Amino acid sequence: MEFILSNANVFAYLVSRDLCTQEEANSKVEQKSAKNFNLLVSLSAGRKLLVKQEPFTGQQEVANEFLREWRIHEFIQRFPELGYISAWLPEVIHFDAENSIIVINYLTNYRDLAEFYAQENNFAPAISGAIGSALATIHRATLNCQKYQEFFVQNTAIETDQELQLTEGLNRIGPEIFGQVPDDGLKFFALYQRYDSLGQAIAQLGHAYQPCCLTHNDLKLNNILLPLDWENHLQIRLIDWERSDWGDPAFDLGSLIASYLLVWLTSLVVSKSIGIEEALRLAMTPLEDLQPSLVALMRSYCDRFPEIFELHPDFLPRVMQFTGLNLIKAIQSMLQYQKSFGNTGICLLQVAKTLLCRPEASIRIIFGREESELTRLVRSA
C-alpha cells in the first residue's frame, strides 16, 4: 500500500473512482476519527461521503477490517434474497483493497445512539425494541445456512479464531505481564486471578462458543444509528461491521447488553468511603432506568427469533455470560487507553464476575424479570 489518504488528495481520489465530479471537488473536508483515518467529505446537494483508510500494522500490512465491512456488502449482492436486511446496514459504495480504503454514504439524518442517550437521557423502550427486532431478523435470516456459512469461511485472508479472540489477554497470564501493563493494570490482574471461578467461567465460555449465523461482533451503542425523527420513523442502522463473521448470536446480544450496562456502571458515584453496593445504588443513571429498555430489547429479540431457544435452551444464560465477558473487555480497553483501574473498574469486575459465574441469577438482577417472563410467549408458542 503506497497511497496515503489525506485532506489534500481525497477529492482527487474520489474523482478518479467516479465517486464525485470535478465540479464537487472543492467542498468541505473534516477528520472524524483517530482510530482509522476517517474523512467526512461534504459534496453538493447535501450529499456526504465517509472515506476511511485503515492504518498500517507494520511491514506494510493492515488488519483487513475494512475487507470485513465490504464483505457484508458483497454478501447481500451474492444472495439477493437477503436484500431486505440492507435497511439496517450502512450504505457502502466503494472498496479499494489495494489501498485499504472504504467509502460509505454518510447518513446525515441519523445520530449516534450513545450520543443520543448521553444528551437526551431518554431510554425509550421503543428504541431498544427496534434494535432487538433488527438484530434477531439478521441472525434468523442466516441461521445454519450452509451456503451463507461457506461465504464467510472461504475467505482465508481474514480468517480468525473467534474462540481465541474471546479470551485474548485473559487465558494465559504469566510474569511477562509486568512489562506489558501499567501499575493499575496489575491491580486488575491481581483481582482477576484471585477468583479461580472467573477464569474457569471465561475458559468454558470460549469453548462453548457456537457459531451459527452472521454476527456483527462489535455491537455497542456508538455503532448504532438512530434517525433524528425516530418518533415517526424508527429505522435504526447497525454500522461498523469491521469485525463481522460467522459467529454466535449470544455474543452479539451480550455485547449490546454490556454497552447498556456501561451507561449505568460508568455513572457510579465512586469513593473509598462508599462500598460497592452503595455505589451501584447511587449511580447517576440507575439500572432501574435502563431495565425497561433491556426488557424491550430481549423480548423483541425473542419474539422475532424463537427458534434460537429450540437450538440452544441455555441461550439466555450464555447471553449473560457474554455480557460479563464484554464488561471485562471494557476494563481491558480502559487499561489500554486510559491507563487506569480505579473504583469504577472494581465495580465493573464485580458485576462481570456475577454475570459470568452466576448467569441464571443474573437474569433477574439485570432485567428485573425472571427468565420465564422474558421468554414465556416464545416458549409457549
Angle at 139 between CA 133 and CA 145, to 5 degrees: 150
Taking the C-alpha atoms of residue 102 and residue 54, their distance in angstroms, rounded to an integer, is 9
Q: What pLDDT is stored for residue 169 in this prediction?
A: 55
Q: What pLDDT was estimated at residue 86?
A: 95
Q: What region does 257 belong to: left with phi over 0, alpha with psi -120 to 50, or beta?
A: alpha
According to the model, what pLDDT value does residue 353 have?
Answer: 93
pLDDT digits (tens, 9 = 90+) for 169-226: 565 555 555 455 556 666 676 667 777 888 889 888 988 899 999 999 999 999 999 9
The residue among 89, 83, 356, 137 whose CA lies nearest residue 249 is: 137
Q: What is the DSSP string of 134-151?
A: HHHHHHHHHTT-HHHHHH
Considering only the C-alpha atoms of the chain, give the largest distance between any 2 of them, rounded to a whole number of Å.
64
Q: Which helix (H) or strand (E) holds 301?
A: helix 287-304
Helix axes 343-357, 249-265, angle to 10 degrees: 150
- DSSP structural state of residue 27: S
**What pLDDT score does 132 carry?**
97
109-to-174, 239, 375 alpha-carbon distances in Å: 49, 14, 35
Helix, strand or coil, per DSSP, at residue 164: helix
How many whole angstroms from its chain centre is CA 6?
28
Give CA–CA dist 73/62, Å, rounded: 20
Q: What is the pLDDT of residue 314?
A: 93
pLDDT at 375: 81
Domains of the chain in start order, with CATH, are 10-105 (3.30.200), 110-380 (3.90.1200.10)
Distance CA(328)–CA(188), nearest Å, equals 10
pLDDT for 381 equals 46
DSSP string, 199-215: HHHHHHHHHT----EEE
Cα–Cα separations (whole angstroms), residue 361 to 173, 293, 321, 347, 368: 29, 19, 11, 18, 11
| Residues 357-367 pLDDT 10s | 999 999 999 99
**DSSP β-bridge partners for residue 51:** 39, 103
Residue 43 grid coordinates: 459534496
Look at residue 203 in the predicted model and tell me its pLDDT.
87
DSSP letter string, 317-363: HHHHHHHHHHHHHHHHHHHHHT----HHHHHHHHHHHHHHH-HHHHH
Residue 317 is predicted with a pLDDT of: 96
Region for 217 from its dihedrals, namely left if φ exceeds 0, alpha if ψ lies in -120 to 50, beta otherwise: left
pLDDT given at position 64: 77
**Closest-CA residue to 321 (of 345, 348, 352):** 352
pLDDT of residue 198: 86
The list of the chain residues with pLDDT below 50 reads 156, 178, 380-381
339: cell is 491507563
User: Backbone phi, then psi, for 67, in 5-degree steps?
Assistant: -65, -35
pLDDT at 171: 54
C-alpha–C-alpha distance, residues 244 and 190, integer Å: 32
